[in-house]
Structure 1
C-alpha cells in the first residue's frame, strides 16, 4: 500500500509540489503518492482531522493556512513557533508536529553563492511578512552580520527587527532610507510578491545605485528571472531566484517524512521542466 503525502492551500491547483515530490519517490523507489488538496479556510479544522483519520503521513502547508493551522496541531517545533508559521506537518501515529522549513531551505540555497562570510555582510531584507520572518530569523541563527529590514508598514519591520535582535544586530529602515542607502548593502533579499507573474515587471526597489558585485536574491521563481533580477545582473550583481529555496524546503520536508536523503537534483530538474526554463 502506498504512503500518502500532500499539500493543502487555497488556491492550490498551480502547485508544483506534487510533481517535485513524485519525482523524488520514483527516483528512490518509494511506494508513495503526493496530492494537492484545495482546502478553504472555513474547512481547515476538518481537513486537519482528516489527515489523522486517513493516516496521511505528511502534509505541506501553503497560503493561507501557514498560521491558522497552528492551533489544530499537537506540537510545534521551536523554529516554527518562533517564526509563527508552519509549512510542514509530520503525522507520527496521529500526533501532528508542525515545522517550518522555509528559512532553512532559503539559507541552504544562499550559502553556496556567498562571496564572503555571512557575518561580514550587511543585509537588506525587503518585506516583513511570513516569508521574511522565516528568512530573517534563520539568517540570524546562521550568524548573519548587520541586518536591515524594510517594509511598506514600518511597524511590522520594527517588530521583525526586534525579534532578530535577540540573535544579531538588526534595525528597521523606512523604504525611502533603504533606497537611499542601497550602495551600502552586500546582500539584498526580496521576500515580497512584487515581481511575481503576471506582474513580473514590477520592482520592490530601484536598483539605480546597486553596487557591483552585490548579491541580489528573490524568493520568487515564477518567472525564474524577474525584471528586478535582470536589472541587477546587468549592473554586475550576483543573482539568485527562489527556485533553490522551493526545492530545499521541499527536500527538508521529504526527509522529515521518509527518513531518507532527498534527491535534490532530481527534484530541481522536475520543477525546471514544469517551469520550462533554466535556473539563474
Structure 2
C-alpha cells in the first residue's frame, strides 16, 4: 500500500521538501508520495486529527506550527520537548510522535565540515527558536563552551538557564563578543538579519578570528550573506543554511524509512530548485 507523507504550514507553496523527499522515494524504490499541505493556525487541530485518521506515515511541520503542534501529538521526543518545537512527526503504530531534526540536522551539517566540533569554543548569535534548537543540540552533542550574543540579553540569559544539557555558557555583549572573537573557532548566526531583501545588514562584525574558524549562517537566500562575506574576507571557512536544511530533511527521512539518504543528491536537488550555489 502506498505510503503518504506531507509537510504542513502556512504558507507552504515555497517549500522545497516535496521535491527533495519525492526524489528520494524514487531513488530508494519506496512506494510513497510527499505532499505540501497548507494548514492555517485555526485548522491545525482538525488537520492533525485528519492526518492521523487517514494513517499518514509521517509529516514535517513548518512555520507557524512548530510549537503549537506539540499539544496535538501523542508523544514527544525528549530533545523536541526541551527545544519546545517539533518539525518532524512519525506515525508509530497509530501514535503521532514529535521530533526536532532542525538542531541535530544543523549539528550534522557542522560535522560534515569539521571533525573536532566538541572541542571548539563557539559563539551563537541570536536567541530565538532557531538558536534554541541549535544551542541545545550542540550542547547535547558535547560542545563544551558556547557563548551567546543577542541584542536583548535577557532572552539569551533565559536560553542559557533553560538548557537541560551540561555546557559552559556565557551571555556576552556585542563589545565583549568582538573582544573575544579570537577565541571562537565556531560562530553560528541564527537570526534573519541579512536575509533578502535586507542583504546589506550584519548582526555582528567579524574581525580577528582564528584562521581555522568555521562561520555558519542559517540563511541560504542569499547563499552568501554579507555576514559570511565578512567572515570569508577574514580567512574563515563559511557555511550557509543549505546544509542545515539538507540534514534536517535527511534525519526526518531516516526516522520514517530507516534509511539515511544520499545528502549530496539532496543538496544538488535543492540547489537546482534555488538556481544558485552553496558555500
Normalising by structure 1, what TM-score?
Answer: 0.94
1:176 is displaced (CA, Å) by 3.7
Report what 1:86 is aligned to: 86
Question: Which has the higher mean CA deviation after the structures are superposed, 224-233 or 13-22?
Answer: 224-233
* 1-structure distance, mates of 2:156, 2:114: 25
**Runs of 5+ in structure 2 lacking a partner?**
none
Which structure is higher in RCO with an 8 Å CA cutoff and minimum separation 6?
A: 1
Q: Counterpart of 1:49?
A: 49
Say which SS state the counterpart of residue 167 (structure 2) adopts.
Answer: coil
Separation in structure 1 between the aligned mates of residue 253 and residue 117 of structure 2, nearest angstrom = 27
Deviations 1:184-235 (A, max 9, x none): 3111100111112222222111124444432110111122211211221122
Whole-Å separation in 1 of the counterparts to 2:94 and 2:164: 37
Query: 192-201 or 15-24, which moves further after superposition?
Result: 192-201
2:248 aligned with 1:233, yes or no? Answer: no
Question: Does structure 1 conserve the Cα–Cα contact (< 8 Å) formed by 2:194 and 2:201?
Answer: yes
TM-score, normalised via structure 2 length: 0.94
Tell me how far apart the structure 2 counterparts of residues 14 and 176 of structure 1 sit (CA, whole Å): 38
Residue 188 of structure 1 is matched in structure 2 by 187
Counterpart secondary structure, 1:274: helix
**Deviations along 1:76-95, whole A, 9 cap, x unmatched?**
00110111110100112331
Offset at 1:247? 0.7
Which sits farther off after the overlay, 149-158 or 203-212?
Answer: 203-212
- After superposition, what is the alpha-carbon deviation per residue over 1:108-145, rounded to whole angstroms, capped at 9, x for unaligned? 11013226x33432210011111111111111122112
Distance change (3 Å), C-alpha of 1:126 and 1:21: same
- The aligned counterpart of 1:133 is 132
CA distance in 2, matches of 1:201, 1:25: 39
> Where do 1:110-149 residues align within 5 Å?
110-114=110-114, 117-149=116-148
Residue ranges of structure 1 left out of the alignment (5+ in a row): none
Q: Identify if the C-alpha distance between structure 1 residues 118 and 58 changes in structure 2 by more than 3 Å, giving closer, same or farther.
A: same
- Secondary structure at the residue paired with 1:198? coil
Kept after mapping to 2: 8 A contact 1:162/1:170: no
Contact 1:215 1:237 in 2 (8 A): yes
2:252 aligned partner: 253
Rounded to whole Å, the distance in 1 between the matches of 2:85 and 2:91 is: 17
CA distance in 2, matches of 1:209, 1:231: 11
Counterpart position of 2:62: 62
**SS of structure 2 residue aligned to 1:253:** helix
SS of equivalent to 1:85? coil
Distance 1:193 1:39 in 2: 24
Distance 1:256 1:119 in 2: 25
CA shift for structure 1 position 59: 0.8
How far 1:183 moved relative to its partner? 2.9
After superposition, what is the alpha-carbon deviation per residue over 1:10-40, rounded to whole angstroms, capped at 9, x for unaligned?
A: 1111111111111111111211111111111
Q: Does 1:221 align with 2:220?
A: yes
Aligned to 1:270: 269
Tell me the CA shift for residue 182 of structure 1: 2.4
